[in-house]
Structure 1
Amino acid sequence: MSSEDFVEEAGLYFERLGLSRTAGRVMGVLLLSDDDGMDLPELREELGAAKSSISVAVGRLAQAGLVERFRRPGARRDRYRLTRDVFGRAFRSKMAEFQRFQELAEHGLAVVGDDPRRRERLENMRDMYAFMAEGFPRLLAEWERTRQAPSHRP
């Protein structure tokens, strides 16, 4: 697989997760870049996308905490790179949705009343997201311990 193929695959993947395809492609490029990141003209050239499209994508990624903006001493342009804990941050933001899914299920349960056949899916949804909300913080804590262990290689 070429780097171009990977970037396109990342664009499609992150698009399915709710980002724009361009933002997903930016993620793909930055996943392959070094810690020095890239500036907007470099991203635009690498992706062959319009300046405004790249600016909007990078802005949304920065707002979501997935990308950070920085400037090298003496440089004239800002650069962008993935935040150090990009996937932990993304995972934590998704965890916040678990509560909203539980609330949605509760609203549905209030609508369907006592009919057991109509309640089953909604109860399953509520219970599954409650389970995930309880278990995922432990998984993240375990990941952090594992990542910080001397034997772990970044």
Structure 2
Amino acid sequence: MPGGRLTYQDRQYIAAGLTEGLTYTEIAKHLQRPISTITREVTRNGGADSYQADRAHQATEGRARRRKQAPAPAPPVATGAPGRDPQAVHALEERFTTVMTTTGLPRMTARVLTCLYTTDSGSLTAAELVQRLQVSPASISKAIGELEQHELIRRERDPRRRRDRYVIDPDVWYRAWLVSARQNATMADLARDGAEILDSTTPAGARLQDMSQFFEHVSQNLIQAAEQWRQDFMSRRTTGR
């Protein structure tokens, strides 16, 4: 697939494709680009309904100029195990952070999650996160709050230092997956109630009925997949394989 930045012609095709109702996959295939490139491009420039080639191209050029003018950020404080290539570790952390931001996490929240994941202990205090990421305590506090809300980390009290430690454990994605399943179940319940209120024989009621069935199906599949993974994971732990 072609590399490098999207050209103005690429952006014109994206805008035209969205107007014609093409999917991101169809646009990506025509431009021979990863679908993630197209998704990011449209999302950061107004979304499918508001995307404009001229505005998107100008915004991208503006960001590029600002990056050239701004000093390069200092990499996190190196505290890895001996023998690891610091540059390779830093590159991994940047990739991890970028992927996490595509899931909807703010960049600072993604950086904190990355930091915890790539630390051998999987556990750091707020002060240690401030030191490693070289940011303000307020930034860390806000990121921690969001990660706890999504159940991506848990808090433990360190009795020796009288400080909270923030921990990644093996169940983190299992719990986060169940949070997503609960959110889908809530959407299913809301849509089902709406269908009853509007009458499922009417166009609006039928639309909500379809929505309810979709989210119910997704919720059940998420739960089944999570439980199957947990069973397999616990079995591997027991057998040591």
Pairing 1:101–2:153 present? no
Task: Give the AA of the match of 1:30.
Answer: L
Q: Cα 1:148–1:50, aligned 2, differ >3 Å: closer, same or farther? A: same
Decide whether the 8 Å contact of 1:22 with 1:57 is kept in 2: yes
Which among 168, 171, 182 is matched to residue 85 of structure 1? 171
Between 9-18 and 105-114, report the one with greater CA deviation. Answer: 105-114
Higher relative contact order (CA 8 A, sep 6+): 1
The number of aligned residues is 152
Pairing 1:61–2:144 present? no
- What does the per-residue CA deviation read over 1:64-108, in whole Å, with 9 as the maximum and x for residues that have no partner? 432222244522433222144110110000001212333455548
5 Å-filtered alignment, 1:8-87, equals 8-35=94-121, 37-87=123-173
Pairing 1:132–2:238 present? no
RMSD over aligned CA atoms reads 3.2
Between 28-37 and 118-127, report the one with greater CA deviation. Answer: 118-127
Q: Cα 1:64–1:136, aligned 2, differ >3 Å: closer, same or farther? A: closer
Structure 2 gaps of 5+ residues are 1-86
Q: Using structure 1 for the length normalisation, give the TM-score.
A: 0.73
Pairing 1:141–2:227 present? yes
Task: Give the AA of the match of 2:185.
Answer: Q
Structure 1 gaps of 5+ residues are none
What is the percentage of aligned positions where both structures have the same residue? Answer: 26
Q: SS at the partner of 1:42?
A: helix
Q: Cα 1:22–1:72, aligned 2, differ >3 Å: closer, same or farther? A: same
Task: Provide the rounded CA distance (Å) in 2 between the counterparts of 1:8 and 1:112.
Answer: 50
C-alpha deviation, 1:27, in angstroms: 0.8
Between 35-44 and 52-61, report the one with greater CA deviation. Answer: 35-44
Between 130-139 and 119-128, report the one with greater CA deviation. Answer: 119-128
Decide whether the 8 Å contact of 2:181 with 2:219 is kept in 1: yes
Structure number with greater Rg is 2
C-alpha deviation, 1:21, in angstroms: 1.7
Task: Provide the rounded CA distance (Å) in 1 between the counterparts of 2:184 and 2:134.
Answer: 37
C-alpha deviation, 1:14, in angstroms: 3.1
C-alpha deviation, 1:125, in angstroms: 4.0
Decide whether the 8 Å contact of 1:11 with 1:25 is kept in 2: yes
Q: SS at the partner of 1:49?
A: coil
Between 78-87 and 6-15, report the one with greater CA deviation. Answer: 6-15
Q: Cα 1:130–1:35, aligned 2, differ >3 Å: closer, same or farther? A: same
- What does the per-residue CA deviation read over 1:22-77, in whole Å, with 9 as the maximum and x for residues that have no partner? 11111111111123511222212222322210111113323443222224452243
Q: Using structure 2 for the length normalisation, give the TM-score.
A: 0.51
Q: SS at the partner of 2:127?
A: helix
